[in-house]
Chains A and B, each alone.
Chain A
Amino acid sequence: MLYHIRLSITYDYDSPAMGGRHLLRLLPLDIPGEQEVTAPLLAISPRPTERGSFTDFFGNPTEEMALMSDHSKIVFTATARVNRSFAGPGDDVSGPLATLPAALAAWRELDGTSPHHFLHASPRIHPAAPMTDYARAAIKGARSVRGAVEALGMALHRDMTFDSRTTTVDTPPDEAFERRTGVCQDFAQVMIAALRGIGIPAGYVSGFLRTVPPPGKPRLEGADAMHAWVRAWCGPEAGWVEFDPTNACLVGADHIVVAYGRDYGDVAPVAGVLRISGKQKSKQAVDVIAL
């Protein structure tokens, strides 16, 4: 599937910000064999005083920029062309959940894709008993790790209501879970907390959804802004499997990956520190056009 992607994020400040320093993760990720990115471009207005880039711990290309002068508005525009060749994870080759602890104990890698980083609490996602108990109930009867992941994702999709008015970017997953509402970020973070609670390493994926669905299919929820979903480590054979609890589906050609992390904090599209006293407003516009 070939896409043209355009994302713009605008911040308006009531009182001018006295300079700012940001980390940006806005462009699609190049994943060999799954997702090929051409002509990536990230424009920033006003023009930053400094700009650079590095690859973060989890393998995400990260732009860093600093704006020394006062500014009351800043606009980030990312455009790219993406060939998404990945169509889905294929057959379930994962083992039973009971085999996972031994597989993890035998796993001796600590690079950014190692499951070990995704098993414990992370700054924004702490497993908690209510979500763990819910997960245990939801995966009853599942025969494999991936089966459990899918069962949990389907259950959350069934029990949680998509509602953009009830949560903010900083709502912790246990709160969103208690109210059973939220947006894609909340769906993803609740599912991650629940998976970690039952011992399945789980991470956060930020990305895009195609804006206009294929003929005859419904429009996916979350296509008007950046989207988020979950990836779970299903054992050494199956590896990482991605699931979108907001849309109750395994991730395939309609999803485009931007960044991987333990939670939102690792992949925040615009992270950064501003010396600002007043309020700020932000808006986001996304177009993902199938070519």
Chain B
Amino acid sequence: MEKKAPGPDALPPVLAGYQPLPGISDELLDPQGQIRPVWRGFVRHFAGLTPEDIGRRFARGDQYLRDAGVFFRQYGVGGGSTERAWPLSHIPVLIEEAEWDKIAQGLMQRADLLEQVMADLYGPNRLVADGHLPAALVAGNPEWLRPMVGVEPRGGHYLHFLAFEIGRGPDGTWWVLGDRAQAPSGAGFALENRVAVGRVFSDLYADAHVHRLAGFFRLFRDALQGLRADSDSRVGILTPGPLNETYFEHAYIARYLGFMLLQGEDLTVADGQLMVRTVAGLKPISVLWRRLDGAYADPLELEAQSRLGTPGMVSALRKGSATMVNAIGSGVLETRALLAFMPRIARALRDEPLILPNIATWWCGQAKERAHVQANPERMVISPALSTRQPFDDDAAAVQGNRVKPDELARWLAKDGANLVGQEAVTLSTTPAYVDGALTPRPMSLRVFVARTPSGWQVMPGGFARIGSTPDPKAIAMQRGGTAADVWIVSPKPVETASMLPAEGPYVRTQLSVLPSRAADNLYWLGRYVERTEGIMRLARSHHIRLVETGDATAPLLTAIAPLFKGQGIDPAEGIPKGLIATLGSAIGSAAQVRDRFSPDGWSALTDLDKTARRMAETVTAGDDAARAISALLRKLTGFSGLVHENMYRFTGWRFLELGRYIERAAGMAGVLATLADAEAPDGALDLAVEVGDSVMSHRRRFAVSSTRETVIDLLALDGSNPRAVMFQLDGIRAQVALLPGATQAGQLSDLSRAVLRAHTALATERPETLDSAAIWELRSTVWGLSDLLTETYLR
């Protein structure tokens, strides 16, 4: 048979420049340069697209990721970090189902083996006693957490969710590059990549027999639900918080699976039981999917410096009150030097060889292995033995063996051998990436996820591919410019199109999750900060309008409102005051803590407002310029408020957000009235109050007279129909508080309900004539008192 005969398989123009490197496997082309069968449909489809089509399609995927708020956190040299757009490589990696099944077999075996190793390391330590593993690698390992030794996992299993980094070697076989057992990330990103790439190739994807991912998540979700102690108990995802590299994913997965997203301080231990602090009191939780490094989970028994943990967590686990997914201490399985011993451990514990080999590794704490590394420096990367990083993530500490002079290498290995491993230099296969208008081979590794279910390990049919930014396989880390791609497992037959909904049975409206106190606190403060931002904007705009009219910053009216600015830490002379930006920043800080409870649209609206305000602050000057700029910002802010009002589900969290807004607005308006409707206030102050209260039209309509103290007080303090009036806020507070958990107990009002009712009645029975400035200041303190009581009752 001729191999290069032109025919239906001749490379289309889009592949004209596609040239795999010699001696390296390629996913798309076989060693003869023919397109592999699994790729043929894709290539045919892609070859039919014009560059404009491709640009439009890619933009569709990117737009999805932006709208969904997918980002990753990039760490800079100075220790700071920024949120960067998600670097999607739009061309998926295609793998045949039959080949995938073999990979899956190997990974399931490896998952079982890791479970056995974990059980041994935190149990009898036979591997060390029998000489299969050196004691030093365990005892000197910071990931081996002594307090967890002897703590048997509730339900019998240490490991429930694992990831493996795999790559294809030059001979076409797959290798395990690293085991991820601590708190593997990437499953959520795999989902997002899938949605985005599904949009890029929407017409192709639908009928290309690509295995769907939802079924895997459904099984894992059901497995986690099944691990609960009882149906009252809950499942949570334990996150280190918004500053973590993969927090977006934690929030995304929590939303997708319907689990609570929790930080360490959301949890507490009472009578040996792990509990969530919620606005309805302590609620039991019995399953935690841990995305926090184990050592930080309990400052009492583990890392004492941790501010992310829950004191007493280890004690609760010791008593078997919760299942940790995975058990605390599983990070030890990621130890690089362990790879050197896995083939031997597989034979010792399972009496079978590894189905998928792992990257060849030699621990230099042993004489024979050390000699081997020393004799083969050109094939070796030498790096820290106890590192838990991926081979390609550790560039600073990893050294190519032949970059060191032979005598130096010998001295180094002799002196520090126990802390070093030699690993075969990684050679990865290449896969097409779209670079400068053409498909180009780029190195690739896959992250594959496996989850424990009642019927055994499930392997996600797909995964998360890292694609190198250059032909150098070391450059596939995203922190170094690598990109991420979707992975399509292609079946010869049509595939099941699963969704997250239960397969059968009558429809049941799912129980709403309880609201952790910390989330309620952040929503409350989000409401307060957003409202405070609006108040500052309205005040500042009025200031700048008056400044234009009078041209005098010391005019009596401007002097009269100065205390209102001072109280908020605002310098009104600035066009866009720094204090305004800071308040908005606080709002975003609060929102960032509750992104799982927040629509991506709302988040975009808020960050967009922030960006615009910061940009304006650089150029906008006091006076007319500032007044117009602030008006534009106010319109954007109203957009956010509208999204909240129109789209947010009326759950308990929404009530706290509303309460924050009511309380801030009530207190803000009281401050404005006490200052500007004071008997001593200068001429024009009453009109200014009406303007700041956005009630010019209402005043004109209700009172056919010019403003007097009584009309202004009536409209802005007492009129329950005016959404800016203090009375309106108290109506709102009263209504929302009545709907909070524990508002009445056995027919009796709670302290908070009682205080709200008292404040409401007091204002409702006031008259404009008697509500003087002193009384309004008093009203303001009453409102702050309600805030304190609310905090005390629900948010502590």
Q: How far is the CA of A22 from the CA of B311 in the complex (A)?
A: 9
- Does B312 contact A114, Cβ atoms closer than 8 Å? no
CB distance from A286 to the nearest CB of B (A): 25
Which residues of B in the span 578-595 have a Cβ within 8 Å of any Cβ on A? Answer: none
In the complex, whether A25 has a CB less than 8 A from a CB of chain B is no
Instruction: Give the residues in chain B near A11, CB-CB below 8 Å.
Output: none
- Does A116 contact B147, Cβ atoms closer than 8 Å? no
- Out of A21, A54, A57, A58, which one reaches B312, CB within 8 Å? A21
CB distance from B41 to the nearest CB of A (A): 55
Which residues of A in the span 60-105 have a Cβ within 8 Å of any Cβ on B? Answer: 64, 66, 68, 104-105
Q: How far is the CA of A123 from the CA of B303 in the complex (A)?
A: 9
- Out of A52, A58, A120, A273, which one reaches B311, CB within 8 Å? A273
- Does A66 contact B269, Cβ atoms closer than 8 Å? yes
* Contact bitstring A99-119, B, C-beta under 8 A = 1, else 0: 000001101111100101101
- Out of A23, A108, A111, which one reaches B131, CB within 8 Å? A108
Instruction: Give the residues in chain A near B138, CB-CB below 8 Å.
Output: 110, 116
- Out of A21, A50, A108, A120, which one reaches B128, CB within 8 Å? A108
- Does A21 contact B140, Cβ atoms closer than 8 Å? no
Q: How far is the CA of A116 from the CA of B138 in the complex (A)?
A: 9
* Contact bitstring B289-302, A, C-beta under 8 A = 1, else 0: 00000000001110
Instruction: Give the residues in chain A near B128, CB-CB below 8 Å.
Output: 108-110
In the complex, whether A271 has a CB less than 8 A from a CB of chain B is yes
Instruction: Give the residues in chain A near B315, CB-CB below 8 Å.
Output: 52, 54, 64
Q: What is the chain B residue whose CB lies nearest that of A261?
A: B146
In the complex, whether B318 has a CB less than 8 A from a CB of chain A is yes
- Out of A22, A56, A114, A117, which one reaches B147, CB within 8 Å? A56
In the complex, whether A265 has a CB less than 8 A from a CB of chain B is yes
In the complex, whether A213 has a CB less than 8 A from a CB of chain B is no
In the complex, whether A130 has a CB less than 8 A from a CB of chain B is no
- Out of B125, B147, B272, which one reaches A52, CB within 8 Å? B272
- Does A50 contact B140, Cβ atoms closer than 8 Å? no
Instruction: Give the residues in chain B near A265, CB-CB below 8 Å.
Output: 304
Q: What is the chain A residue whose CB lies nearest that of B366?
A: A105
Q: How many residues belonging to B are interface residues under a CB distance threshold of 8 Å?
A: 27
Q: What is the chain B residue whose CB lies nearest that of A64?
A: B315
- Does A50 contact B125, Cβ atoms closer than 8 Å? no
Q: How far is the CA of A105 from the CA of B140 in the complex (A)?
A: 13
Instruction: Give the residues in chain B near A52, CB-CB below 8 Å.
Output: 272, 315
Instruction: Give the residues in chain A near B301, CB-CB below 8 Å.
Output: 23
Which residues of A in the span 144-175 have a Cβ within 8 Å of any Cβ on B? Answer: none
- Does B139 contact A116, Cβ atoms closer than 8 Å? yes
In the complex, whether B135 has a CB less than 8 A from a CB of chain A is yes
- Does A21 contact B135, Cβ atoms closer than 8 Å? no
Instruction: Give the residues in chain A near B150, CB-CB below 8 Å.
Output: 57
- Does B272 contact A21, Cβ atoms closer than 8 Å? no
In the complex, whether B396 has a CB less than 8 A from a CB of chain A is no
Instruction: Give the residues in chain A near B125, CB-CB below 8 Å.
Output: 109-111
- Does B146 contact A57, Cβ atoms closer than 8 Å? yes
Identify the interface centre among B269, B311, B312: most chain A CB within 10 Å of its CB. Answer: B311
**Given contact pairs A50-B271, A54-B318, A66-B269, A273 touches B139 in the complex (Cβ within 8 A):** no
- Out of A68, A117, A120, A123, which one reaches B304, CB within 8 Å? A123
8 closest pairs, A vs B, by CB? Answer: A116-B139, A57-B146, A273-B311, A120-B140, A110-B125, A21-B311, A116-B135, A108-B129
Interchain Cβ contacts under 8 Å between A and B, 29 examples: A21-B300, A22-B300, A23-B300, A50-B270, A50-B271, A50-B272, A52-B315, A57-B149, A57-B150, A64-B312, A105-B134, A107-B135, A108-B129, A109-B125, A109-B128, A109-B129, A110-B125, A110-B129, A110-B138, A110-B139, A116-B136, A116-B140, A119-B139, A120-B139, A120-B140, A123-B304, A271-B304, A272-B300, A273-B300
